[in-house]
Amino acid sequence: SPGLYIVATPIGNLGDITLRAIEVLGACDAVACEDTRVTGKLMKHLGLSKPLWRYDDHASEKDRARLVESMQTRAVALVSDAGTPLVSDPGYRLVRDAREQAIPVTSIPGPCAAIAGVTLSGLPNDRFMFAGFLPAKDKARAEVLADLGAVRSTLVFYETGPRLARSLAAICEILPGREVAVARELTKLHEECRTGSPLKLAEWYGAHPPKGEIVLLVGPPGEQPVGRADADALLADALATLKPSQAAAQ
């Protein structure tokens, strides 16, 4: 039925397409996509042929309004080049406008590199914060890391091979005590996930420049904040274990 369908597609391994994604891509009237060549290949692989409409969030208001208007009478699937649309990918404005026009919006969930990275890394996942791509410029990157360093969750970034070394160097400087994970080429032949201190990973990837796509994760700050009662108890413990001569010197 008419509306907008947000369809997740594989992040590398074509086997990761869901049954529902295939069903919706087969039944829709058109597919809005970032790159018609990339989506054309996926559709061909699935044995499907639909009109492919190029769309990204830089589209003019007029083009977006026309696309939303078409959803009054057509089923339009939105896909990105890989993974879940809207996750560091276009679609936010389209979804917002469709909702404003009371057009039905349906999510067909599936692969997402950030989630795959969180689950593989072994870092605490009770709370994690997805923070997209780090800025490319050193100063801006350092500022973002300093700000996010205060957040008490695992931080999840998208990263590219050529930029990884500089990001790890910045983490060494700004968040040196954290545990870090680099999840690379997820779901693909050369999938790997390395964990360790920022220094250890900076050394490793300095010697082995990484290829392919990367999720960079930074574990949460270690110490829990100490409340007043805890502080008193810790102090009492520490004093009790001091040798008499040390205690006298206090």
Shortest distance in whole angstroms from residue 138 CB to ligand SAM? 19
103 vs 215, which CB is nearer to ligand SAM? 215
The three state secondary structure string of the chain is CCEEEEECECCCCHHHCCHHHHHHHHHCCEEEECCHHHHHHHHHHCCCCCCEEECCCCCCHHHHHHHHHHCCCCEEEECCCCECCCCCCCCHHHHHHHHHCCCCEEEECCCCHHHHHHHHHCCCCCCEEEEEECCCCHHHHHHHHHHHCCCCCEEEEEEEHHHHHHHHHHHHHHCCCCCEEEEECCCCCCCEEEEECHHHHHHHHHHCCCCCEEEEEECCCCCCCCCHHHHHHHHHHHHHHCCHHHHHHC
Q: Which is nearer to ligand SAM, 187 or 197 (CB)?
A: 187
Alpha carbon distance 215, 207 (integer Å) = 19
Q: Which residues bind ligand SAM (CB under 6 A)?
A: 11-12, 80, 82-84, 87-89, 112-114, 158-160, 183-188, 213-215
Nearer to ligand SAM, 25 or 215 (CB): 215
- Least Å from the CB of residue 130 to ligand SAM: 10
Nearer to ligand SAM, 18 or 187 (CB): 187
CB-wise, 70 or 158, nearer to ligand SAM? Answer: 158
Nearer to ligand SAM, 18 or 88 (CB): 88
Closest contact distance (angstroms) between CB of 193 and ligand SAM is: 10
Residue nearest to ligand SAM (CB): 83
CB of 28 to ligand SAM, least distance (A): 19
Nearest-approach distance from CB 196 to ligand SAM, in angstroms: 18
CB 114, min distance to ligand SAM, A: 6
Q: Which amino acid is at 169?
A: A
